Structure 1
């Protein structure tokens, strides 16, 4: 709460409170110049809701202003993140296309059929046999058989070996030297 309850907010709240009470006293003295102190205090109590409302409005305006500044900062941050994402996609587009072409070339070297190439690519993307079957409108058994054919033609032991074949050298070594 101290974060937005800064000196300026306290000052404006005090100005609103003192101004509201001063206005109420001034109007009461103008209306009835011979008023007693007790009557004046009772009249001030009647005007207390107005003063509290004025203070509340000052606090509300300050909070709204603060939220607007934070909102604009968030929008700016989102815009910067979007621009960075667009730059990354543009920079990596050529690399990704080259990688796809290199993978497809290796699939051809292994003499994979078109169906086996599709299954192998979807396996590399991390889809399950069931998901691949749904996408290709075939049975899960057919997908598993095509996957086995891919592994056999490539001389690999399974899905992990297929992924490692293409991805192992793409990943940079960690700071600890683990590859």
Structure 2
């Protein structure tokens, strides 16, 4: 990935430099043409103009190729992460189902409303209040109010304690 980033950065600089040369030569070429400079001089500047344009196109393509390579690597990484997550879910399907049942039982014992229970689950999954509001098609203020009701009914002070309530017993104690 570092190779791609370095070459991508080099391509950006090369494009910028070629574009700079292109602009300067274009301005000089127009000025020289108005001043009636010899055709051989104009042809030399036109050649430089074409070379700078060629550099823009060449390094532009190179930049695009490096960007595509980076996108491909990121897509592969994402696919691998999704595959590993799916394998983990399949291997632990019974555990996950049992945990979901136990979380719902605890929510019931706290007497959470169905809306509060849904918000609680989404908070345990790590969604922000804004994300939960979007998912539930509700205002962020409503979600904050429901979160406060969950904290009050459960006797915890916030999201971290809520998560810890369910995770604490799942994790093995540290060995001395």
Shorter-chain TM-score tier = 0.3 to 0.5
Q: TM-score scaled by structure 2? A: 0.47
RCO higher in 1 or 2 (8 Å CA, sep ≥ 6)?
2
Higher CA-based Rg: 1
